[in-house]
């Protein structure tokens, strides 16, 4: 197994363009562990608290699934509390091999070939985060990670991420008519895709169409710039999935998080 990715790996991910678009982004940065045979298996771990991503092709044979499991075990990833993002058939193999593992989140991958303007508007307007929004953004990041239970980190880590997001112009608020940041999302372009993430609306301000209008406006910015908007959702959260589908997002793939 090699410890570097090249054009062969990115070509492999084209088979699962949307479900593993995040893996493609992660491989391009610094990783604590990257293992690939450039043909049938990619294992990628950026750093804590993020999950380990494992790619295998559809219809992987049982011996290929076992090879993936043994590789992860040999590198100590099964004993350090990590979570794993992978396809369902591989997840089932991992769960059979280790009683400590179970499905934590069912994930849908969407893209948006044609945006549909929301039928209902929302009071307030889109706002790109600026330095003066730092404390509010850190608070929303913390609330998002607490509620989803994924990638939880320290307030200091959220502040560092917020600083970078503000510096790159990649995070947005929806401010209501009172000027309060009630909903947040990020948009990060990579190659021809733009990943929409960090979608969160404060409790007490939900079902008021803030997130729907925010994601629509940010997705429109991405499309106007020539990118295809994509996003991951919790498959079991029907309300948010319906929101995305109303504005044109189309389900393209499924995967899960185990841990």
Convert the pLDDT of each residue in 206-230 to its tens digit.
999 999 999 999 999 999 999 999 9
DSSP structural state of residue 105: E
SS3 66: helix
CA 96 to chain centre: 26
pLDDT score recorded for residue 30: 84
- CB atoms < 10 A from the CB of 66, how many? 14
Same domain, 139 and 247: yes
The backbone torsions φ and ψ at residue 13, rounded to the nearest 5 degrees and listed phi first, read: -70, -15
Domain that holds residue 139: 125-252
How confident is the model over 26-42, as a mean pLDDT? Answer: 94
Q: Six-digit token pair at 141? A: 């990041």
Same domain, 94 and 184: no
How confident is the model over 247-259, as a mean pLDDT? Answer: 96
pLDDT score recorded for residue 49: 84
% of the chain residues with pLDDT over 70: 100
Is 106 a member of any domain? Answer: no
SS3 233: strand
Is 113 a member of any domain? Answer: no
Q: What CATH number does the domain containing 174 carry?
A: 3.40.630.30
Is 258 a member of any domain? Answer: no
Whether the full predicted model's pTM is greater than 0.85, yes or no, is yes
For residues 29 and 160, which has the higher predicted lDDT (pLDDT)?
160
Lowest-pLDDT range of 21-30, 36-45, 131-140, 142-151? 142-151
Contacts of 160 (CB under 8 A, 6+ apart): none
Convert the pLDDT of each residue in 38-89 to its tens digit.
999 999 999 888 899 999 999 999 999 999 999 999 999 998 889 999 999 9
Is 218 a member of any domain? Answer: yes
Over 150-191, what HEC string results?
A: CCCCCHHHHHHHHHHHHHHCCEEEEECCCCCEEEEEEEEEEC
Convert the pLDDT of each residue in 165-187 to its tens digit.
999 999 999 999 999 999 999 99
Number of domains in the chain: 2
Same domain, 65 and 160: no
Q: How far is the C-alpha of 117 from the C-alpha of 124, rounded, in Å?
A: 16
% of the chain residues with pLDDT over 90: 88
Same domain, 136 and 245: yes
Convert the pLDDT of each residue in 87-112 to its tens digit.
999 999 999 999 999 999 999 999 99
Same domain, 14 and 67: yes
Report the phi/psi class of residue 76: left, alpha or beta, with left for phi > 0 and alpha for psi in -120 to 50. Answer: left
pLDDT higher than 90, residue 14: yes
How confident is the model over 24-40, as a mean pLDDT? Answer: 93
Q: Six-digit token pair at 126? A: 């889109």
Tell me whether strands 84-86 and 52-55 are parallel, antiparallel or unpaired: parallel
Short-list 113, 116, 109, CA closest to 88: 109
Tell me whether strands 103-111 and 250-258 are parallel, antiparallel or unpaired: antiparallel
- CB atoms < 10 A from the CB of 163, how many? 14
pLDDT higher than 90, residue 114: yes
pLDDT higher than 90, residue 149: no
Convert the pLDDT of each residue in 122-136 to its tens digit.
999 999 999 999 999
In DSSP notation, 22-64 reads: HHHHHHTS--SEEEE-SSS-EEEE-STTSPEEEE--TT--HHH
Same domain, 26 and 132: no
Helix (H) or strand (E) holding 215: helix 210-224
pLDDT score recorded for residue 48: 86
Same domain, 129 and 96: no
End-to-end CA distance of the chain: 24
Same domain, 219 and 139: yes
**In which residue are the tokens 């197994």 written?**
1
């Amino acid at each position: 197994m090699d410890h570097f990715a090249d054009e062969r790996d990115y070509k492999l991910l084209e088979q699962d363009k949307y479900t593993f678009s995040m893996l493609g982004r992660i491989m391009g940065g610094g990783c604590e562990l990257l293992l690939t045979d450039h043909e049938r298996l990619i294992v990628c771990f950026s750093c804590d608290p993020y999950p380990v991503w494992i790619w295998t092709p559809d219809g992987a044979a049982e011996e290929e699934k076992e090879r993936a499991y043994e590789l992860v075990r040999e590198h100590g990833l099964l004993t350090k509390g990590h979570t794993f993002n992978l396809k369902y058939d591989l997840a089932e193999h991992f769960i059979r091999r280790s009683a400590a593992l179970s499905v934590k989140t069912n994930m849908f991958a969407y893209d948006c070939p044609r945006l549909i303007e929301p039928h209902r508007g929302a009071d307030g307007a889109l706002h790109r985060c600026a330095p003066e929004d730092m404390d509010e953004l850190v608070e929303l990041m913390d609330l998002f990670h607490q509620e989803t239970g994924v990638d939880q980190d320290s307030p200091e880590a959220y502040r560092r991420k917020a600083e970078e997001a503000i510096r790159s112009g990649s995070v947005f608020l929806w401010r209501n008519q009172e000027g309060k940041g009630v909903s947040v999302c990020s948009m990060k372009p990579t190659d021809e895709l733009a990943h929409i993430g960090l979608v969160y609306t404060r409790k007490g301000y939900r079902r008021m169409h803030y997130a729907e209008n925010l994601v629509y406006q940010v997705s429109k910015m991405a499309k106007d710039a020539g990118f295809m908007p994509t996003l991951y959702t919790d498959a079991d959260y029907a309300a948010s999935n319906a929101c995305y589908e109303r504005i044109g997002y189309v389900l393209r793939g499924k995967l899960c998080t185990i841990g």
